[in-house]
Structure 1
């Protein structure tokens, strides 16, 4: 997907990137082969100043979109997710394909 087609603010982009990372892991994401979508039914909570997302350690601030209904609403309005805030999210094909280019700034977990 061409990221210029859909504009996201910084928090929306970070939240989508983290949803995409959660979708990659079977312990948090469930792929539907028929629709090509992934349901993420496990959203990790921050402990201290960070949260573990897949292979990454992310600052709690960067993951604050998990608890922000307006972020979920915006991503849903743009066709990137279907929201069941705050319990689960379905990433659409468009949401899975959207290139956020953010993982270079996240740190790989050492624990």
Structure 2
């Protein structure tokens, strides 16, 4: 059995963090709308920082770790690698490949919200 290594497309840290957070959003009941024809999930909520943090689903993430959400270059790079579609920051869809991609981050920088 061959172990698949994490981050096989060699995403940079910002791209990997942004994709990992988008995956969390896509898994939330109100975080995305699935397209049965393509398997894509269009994100319906892109979080915005308030203060030094961002709420992503049930988690609180530092604003620094979530800065890729507002960086068009991150979405263009993720689209080029086939992990998202519509990289215009207003209509992001995670492809099935993007949903399943192992960033290697797991829950490393996610912390349950207490407020």
Same fold by TM (over 0.5)? yes
Deviations 1:17-53 (A, max 9, x none): 0110110113221112232110002111110000000
Displacement of 1:78: 0.4
Residue ranges of structure 2 left out of the alignment (5+ in a row): none
Give the whole-Å Cα distance in 2 for the aligned partners of 1:65 and 1:48.
16
* In the alignment, structure 1 residue 92 sits paired with structure 2 residue 84: no
Aligned mate of 2:27, from 20, 24, 43: 24
Q: TM-score, normalised by structure 1?
A: 0.91
User: Which of 37, 41, 45 is the matching residue for 2:44?
Assistant: 41
CA RMSD of aligned residues (A): 1.6
1:42-79 deviation per Cα after TM superposition (whole angstroms, max 9, x unaligned): 11111000000011100000000011000000000000
TM-score, normalised with respect to structure 2: 0.88
What's 2:84 paired with?
A: 81
Q: CA deviation at 1:84?
A: 4.0
Which protein has the bigger strand share? 1
Q: Secondary structure at the match of 1:52?
A: strand
Give unmatched runs, 5+ long, in structure 1: none
The answer to whether the Cα contact below 8 Å between 1:43 and 1:88 also exists between their aligned partners in 2 is: no
Q: Runs of 4+ in structure 1 displaced over 2 angstroms?
A: 1-5
Aligned length: 111
User: Could you say which structure has the larger radius of gyration?
Assistant: 2
